[in-house]
Homo-oligomer: A and B are copies of this chain.
Amino acid sequence: MQKPKIAISIGDINGVGPEIAIRAHEKIKEICEPVYCVPRALMDEAALKIGIEELDFDFLCVDFNFSCTIRPGEAAADSGELSYKSFKLATSYAKSGRADAVVTLPINKKAWEMAGVPHKGHTDALSDIFGKRGIMMLGCEELFVALYTDHVPLKEVASLIKQEPIAQFLEEFYKAGGFESVGVLGFNPHAGDGGVLGSEEEEIKAAIEMANKTVGKELFFGPLVPDVAFTPHSKGKYAAYVAMYHDQGLAPLKALHFDESINVTLGLPIIRTSPDHGTAYDIAYKLEANTKSYENAVKEAVRLATKDKKESFV
Contacts and interface: CB of A to CB of B under 8 A. Distances in A.
A297 interface: no
Interface stretch (A13-21, A22-30, A32-40, A247-255): A247-255
Interface stretch (A125-133, A150-158, A263-271, A281-289): A150-158
Contacts of A226: 247, 251
Given A189-B150, A232-B258, A256-B256, A155 B198 contact: yes
A255 B256 contact: yes
Contacts of A151: 189-190, 193, 197
Interface residues of A, number: 40
Contacts of A198: 153-155
A218 interface: no
A247 to B, nearest CB: 4
B254 A227 contact: yes
A187 interface: yes
A230 interface: yes
A231 interface: yes
Nearest to A227: B250
A185 to B, nearest CB: 9
A188 to B, nearest CB: 5
A192 B187 CA distance: 20
A229 B157 CA distance: 22
A188 B247 CA distance: 8
A233 interface: yes
A123 to B, nearest CB: 13
Interface string A182-216: 00000111101100011110000000000000000
Contacts of A150: 189
A85 interface: no
Interface string A230-252: 11110100000000011110111
Given A151-B193, A155-B200, A232-B259, 6 more contacts: A153-B197, A154-B158, A189-B246, A227-B247, A229-B251, A230-B251
15 contacts: A150-B189, A151-B197, A154-B157, A155-B198, A155-B200, A189-B245, A189-B246, A228-B254, A229-B251, A230-B252, A231-B254, A233-B258, A251-B251, A251-B252, A252-B255
